[in-house]
Structure 1
Amino acid sequence: MKQSRFTILKNEPLTSTVYRMVLEGDTSAITKTGQFLNIKIDGLFLRRPISVCDYDDKTVTILYKVVGAGTEAMKLMAPPSQLDILTGLGNGYDTTKSGSCPLLIGGGVGVPPMYRLAKNLLAEGKTPIVILGFNTKDEAFYIEEFEHLGAKVLVATSDGSLGTKGFVTDIVSNLSDYTYFYACGPEPMLKALSDCTKTSGQLSFEERMGCGFGACMGCSCETKYGSKRICKDGPVLEKEEIIW
């Protein structure tokens, strides 16, 4: 973990509620896809945990949905404002278990970490299939960005306005030739995927946090191997260890 100040380079809307922010600063503590940032917002006591979408040696990109006071404040921030950020938090995904054709499944604001994961897997010579789930076409984002990487992209929307009508599980249930899966999204989606997938996999959990680095025990959950902290032992857990 590292505490640093980052400068906002871009803060732009992707949909009516989802924004992309590009930050410049010390990214050396970000070592694995699936890790997250914890951002200090002036006037608010708790930092806001936001997953990493992409990063390089100078910048980090996050996608966030405006859902409360913290993200509402972030929406109004403009370059070159600065933010106090904790980086390198969480365990991230393990790509060594992926096999040759893994599924990458993102639901809503669970989509962002799938982007860097797809980039990494493609660089390793894998052939990932990306499955993205949204409520409506108007809420969809980052489909073209995944396609530009060279990944096969399948989309599900609850109302059928784009792609398959239904949920990501409706797409997964009709696939058979995949070797592993990675997922991030709301807990009901993760549970449904755990039930319908034919292979092992890794699931990233979205959880309200206190400290964000394992000290307060505020985001603990029970697993088959005892209590684990989502912020430090997670947010990525393996399918077989989760107690639903």
Structure 2
Amino acid sequence: MKKFILDLVVSENIRLNDTNVLLKMTSSAPLPEMKPGQFAELRVDGSPTTFLRRPISINFVDKAANEVWFLVQTIGDGTKQLAKTAKGNIINVVLPLGNSFSLPVNQSDKLLLIGGGVGIAPMLFLGAELKSMGYNPTFLLGARKAKDLVMLDQFSQYGDVYTTTEDGTHGEQGYVTHHSILPAVKFDRIYTCGPKPMMMAVAKYAKIHNITCEVSLENKMACGVGACLCCVENTVEGHKCVCTEGPVFNINELLWQI
């Protein structure tokens, strides 16, 4: 897909909790086509310690409002500066980058979308796309505490939502791979994004049960265009740049020890 460098205007900056901000951005011209699983590189202005753009998953595309959403977790100087961007300010964005999730063709497929932490971000866009295709996906969202679970109302618009928290303050206590929905339903496809240990556990579960599974990797990406090689992942076909040949991979492509 063609890439664009755009000056987008922040239409809303919504503080979701202590560490997460939802940035909604728009443009005077129609936004380019974007697919679930792709990401963008956001330029950080006003931070003397930040020199590179920050890769952020595309959380949602509201075509009616001509908006693209980004869920930003404030973990460093760059993302903290992005989170301060006020309504009406401009952020320079390169998008869309990377590949996308593959979509099912069998209408009877039962689909499970698993997100952990800020890895829930691409699951909303994917869920909306699947809903538009006539599917009713199941979302399984995990976090450490109840306050870390965000956008549950938005997810519930596109499918059934189940949650886990490590301390048991929301949904079932424990990790996503221990949720009771897994033995209760025979899923045909699993999509996941989140911390690598979580994705590896999901991948292991999928392999054991012979379920098609795609993961959206969160390797560190400096350039987003395959030039710096810092996001390389070892696959059955050799080293691949996650930013250009991913971030979405079928688990059978990866050399994970699971």
Interval of TM-score (by shorter of Structure 1 and Structure 2): over 0.9
Where does residue 102 of structure 2 map in the other structure? 94
Work out the CA distance in 2 between the residues paired with 1:41 and 1:16: 20
Where does residue 40 of structure 1 map in the other structure? 43
Work out the CA distance in 2 between the residues paired with 1:85 and 1:144: 27
Does structure 1 residue 13 correspond to structure 2 residue 5?
no
* Equivalences for residues 34-113 of structure 1 within 5 A: 34-42=37-45, 43=48, 44-57=50-63, 58-96=66-104, 100-113=109-122
* Equivalences for residues 226-241 of structure 1 within 5 A: 226-241=238-253
Answer yes or no: is the 8 Å Cα contact 2:54–2:222 preserved in 1. Answer: no
> Letter of the aligned partner of 1:14 in structure 2?
L
User: Residue by residue, what CA displacement relative to the aligned partner does 1:55-102 show, whole Å, maximum 9, x if unpaired?
Assistant: 144210111111000111112110111011101101011113676211
Q: TM-score, normalised by structure 2?
A: 0.90
3-state DSSP class of the match of 1:85? strand
3-state DSSP class of the match of 1:141? coil
Work out the CA distance in 2 between the residues paired with 1:96 and 1:215: 32
Q: Which moved more, 1:211-220 or 1:130-139?
A: 211-220
Work out the CA distance in 1 between the residues paired with 2:13 and 2:113: 26
3-state DSSP class of the match of 1:202? strand
Where does residue 125 of structure 1 map in the other structure? 134
Work out the CA distance in 2 between the residues paired with 1:138 and 1:160: 12
Q: Which moved more, 1:132-141 or 1:170-179?
A: 170-179
Where does residue 226 of structure 2 map in the other structure? 214
How far is 1:28 from its partner?
4.2
Work out the CA distance in 1 between the residues paired with 2:10 and 2:33: 18
3-state DSSP class of the match of 2:244? coil
How far is 1:45 from its partner?
1.1
Answer yes or no: is the 8 Å Cα contact 2:119–2:193 preserved in 1. Answer: yes
* Equivalences for residues 182-201 of structure 1 within 5 A: 182-197=191-206, 198=209, 199-201=211-213
Q: Any unmatched runs of 5+ in structure 1?
A: none
Aligned residues: 243
CA RMSD of aligned residues (A): 1.5
Q: Any unmatched runs of 5+ in structure 2?
A: none
3-state DSSP class of the match of 1:194? helix
Q: Which moved more, 1:213-222 or 1:64-73?
A: 213-222
> Letter of the aligned partner of 2:14 in structure 1?
E
Of the candidates 137, 143, 156, which is equivalent to residue 146 of structure 2? 137
Identical amino acids, percent of aligned pairs: 31
Answer yes or no: is the 8 Å Cα contact 1:103–1:130 preserved in 2. Answer: yes
Where does residue 164 of structure 1 map in the other structure? 172
Q: TM-score, normalised by structure 1?
A: 0.95
**Residues 201 and 20 of structure 1: CA distance in aligned 2, closer, same or farther (over 3 Å):** same
